[in-house]
């Protein structure tokens, strides 16, 4: 057996519920892959604020830095909402993890399953064949630039360095090499100087990957084409704010945010894996949440950090089969609860 260590951050709201079901499924495929996972559960987010007065303690960050991967449920909720900059917020834990682990590339796959095509707001013929990956730069841009107010004037600064762009572009091209060999870089180079640098650097990186096709598209056109012809995209790479917006837009192609996983990667093999959905405090404790996005996030963890791609394939296949056989949680118009969905996946994986 190969031994690995995973820090589990169940978080807030429905986080603990969906994480528990995902771990059940992972244990089955990991055992078959001769992978022994030691799960270390820690607090992060609102629950950590309640216990320690901060969203991420130094001890938890150190544990994450020493782990092979970090598996996260969800954080936040109205209990901790505040506009007071002196008070801790759950989201500060996420930012601390990204910074402390050196995570600069967020990966969001979008692949609508045929069983759910009718759940998408787009027509079946528009989404058929869609299989894209959004690679979002995670630690630069306007979210991290200088900001402030001067009287009636407010400003937020978008800044990028060549090195920041190079490293996320490399992630995109490497991902495309394992997929359909096409990268689409999204910017606003007709207006923004930071986007002109972005386009210049991505073009340079493209010359190092001659087998990968590269095209550039302005962000407003990208927003239109994601709903007009999503199947023509393979890997989309873009800066932080554009990626934040476009990845959420692309998410709705699937018909439910409850099915979308994500991975945040850095220079090493360790990464942070979490579902795209939030903590959904309105349904926490009711057993209604859909654990499938968390299971799919675990599949990404197995593939990218734990070197168990066959186990990842099995998890993804089980989710697809469950949906094809009619398993539906409330967000998909069905009645199955969190545990019932988990039971169904465990049953399929045990066959």
Q: What is the pLDDT, as a whole number, of residue 147?
A: 92
Least confident of 25-34, 225-234, 250-259, 284-293: 250-259
Tokens of 188: 């606003």
What average pLDDT does the structure give for the chain? Answer: 94
HSE, side-chain direction, 13 A CA sphere, residue 25 = 37
Q: What is the pLDDT, as a whole number, of residue 69?
A: 98
Q: Is the pLDDT of residue 258 over 80?
A: no
Domains of the chain, by residue range, sit at: 1-103+260-351, 121-254
Cα distances from 104 to residues 116, 160, 235, 267, in angstroms, run: 32, 12, 16, 8
Q: What is the pLDDT, as a whole number, of residue 77?
A: 94
Closest-CA residue to 272 (of 243, 297, 244): 297
Q: What is the pLDDT, as a whole number, of residue 349?
A: 95
Residue range 94-110: average pLDDT? Answer: 93
Q: What is the pLDDT, as a whole number, of residue 332?
A: 84
Closest-CA residue to 125 (of 110, 137, 112): 112
Tell the burial category of 195 from Cβ atoms under 10 Å away from its Cβ (0-12, 13-18, 19+). Answer: buried
Query: Dihedrals φ, ψ of 140, to 5°?
Result: -130, -165
Q: Is the pLDDT of residue 59 over 90?
A: yes
Q: Is the pLDDT of residue 136 over 90?
A: yes
Q: For 76, left (φ over 0), alpha (ψ -120 to 50), or beta?
A: left
CA 77 from chain centre, in angstroms, equals 19
Closest-CA residue to 202 (of 242, 175, 172): 172
Q: Is the pLDDT of residue 123 over 80?
A: yes
Q: Is the pLDDT of residue 12 over 80?
A: yes
Q: What is the pLDDT, as a whole number, of residue 351?
A: 64
CATH superfamily of 1-103+260-351: Isopropylmalate Dehydrogenase (3.40.718.10)
Q: Is the pLDDT of residue 100 over 80?
A: yes
User: What percentage of the chain carries pLDDT values higher than 90?
Assistant: 83
Q: pLDDT: is 291 or 125 the higher one?
A: 291
CA atoms of 68 and 214, how far apart (whole Å): 33
Closest-CA residue to 316 (of 131, 104, 64): 131
Q: How confident is the model at residue 183 (pLDDT cuts 50, 70, 90)?
A: very high
Domains 1-103+260-351 and 121-254 in one fold? yes
The matching CATH number, chosen from 1.10.10.60, 3.40.50.720, 3.30.420.10, 3.40.718.10, for 121-254 is: 3.40.718.10
Cα distances from 316 to residues 139, 281, 333, in angstroms, run: 29, 27, 21
Residue range 124-143: average pLDDT? Answer: 93
pTM of the model: 0.90
The C-alpha torsion from 21 through 301 and 293 to 141, rounded to 10°, is 140
Q: Is the pLDDT of residue 68 over 80?
A: yes
Q: For 209, left (φ over 0), alpha (ψ -120 to 50), or beta?
A: beta
8 A C-beta contact, residue 53 and residue 88: yes
Residue range 315-333: average pLDDT? Answer: 92
Residues with active-site annotation:
143, 188, 220, 244, 248
Residue range 255-277: average pLDDT? Answer: 87
Q: What is the pLDDT, as a whole number, of residue 85?
A: 77
Residue range 239-246: average pLDDT? Answer: 96
Q: What is the pLDDT, as a whole number, of residue 268?
A: 75
Cα distances from 218 to residues 10, 185, 236, in angstroms, run: 37, 8, 12
Q: What is the pLDDT, as a whole number, of residue 120?
A: 83
pLDDT in tens, 198-224: 999 999 999 999 999 999 999 999 999
Query: Dihedrals φ, ψ of 334, to 5°?
Result: -105, -165
């Amino acid at each position: 057996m190969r031994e690995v260590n995973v820090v589990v951050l169940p978080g807030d709201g429905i986080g603990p519920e969906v994480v528990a079901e995902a771990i059940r499924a992972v244990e089955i495929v990991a055992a078959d892959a001769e992978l022994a996972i030691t799960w270390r559960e820690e607090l992060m987010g609102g629950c950590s604020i309640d216990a320690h007065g901060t969203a991420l303690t130094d001890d938890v960050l150190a544990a994450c830095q020493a782990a092979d991967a970090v598996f996260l449920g969800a954080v936040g909720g109205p209990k901790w909402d505040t506009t007071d900059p002196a008070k801790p917020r759950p989201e500060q834990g996420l930012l601390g993890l990204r910074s402390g682990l050196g995570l600069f590339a967020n990966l969001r796959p979008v692949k609508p399953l045929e069983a759910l095509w009718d759940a998408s707001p787009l027509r079946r013929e528009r989404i058929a064949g869609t299989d894209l990956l959004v690679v979002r730069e995670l630690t630069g841009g306007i979210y991290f630039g200088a900001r402030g107010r001067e009287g009636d004037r407010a400003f937020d600064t978008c800044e990028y360095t060549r090195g920041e762009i190079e490293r996320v572009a490399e992630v995109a091209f490497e991902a495309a090499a394992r997929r359909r060999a096409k990268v689409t870089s999204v910017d606003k180079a007709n207006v923004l100087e930071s986007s002109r640098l972005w386009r210049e650097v991505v073009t340079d990186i493209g010359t190092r990957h001659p087998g990968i096709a590269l095209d550039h598209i302005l962000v407003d056109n990208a927003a239109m084409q994601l709903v007009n012809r999503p199947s023509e995209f393979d890997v989309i790479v873009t800066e932080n704010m554009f990626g934040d917006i476009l990845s959420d837009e692309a998410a709705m192609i699937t018909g439910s945010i409850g099915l979308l996983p994500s991975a945040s990667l850095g220079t090493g093999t360790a990464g942070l894996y979490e579902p795209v959905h939030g903590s959904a405090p309105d349904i926490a404790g009711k057993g209604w949440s859909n654990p499938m996005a968390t299971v799919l996030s675990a599949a990404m963890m197995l593939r990218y950090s734990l070197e168990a791609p066959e186990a990842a394939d099995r998890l993804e296949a089980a989710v697809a089969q469950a949906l094809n056989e009619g398993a539906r949680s409330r967000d998909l118009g069905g009645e199955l609860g969190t545990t019932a969905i988990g039971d169904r996946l465990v049953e399929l994986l045990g066959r």
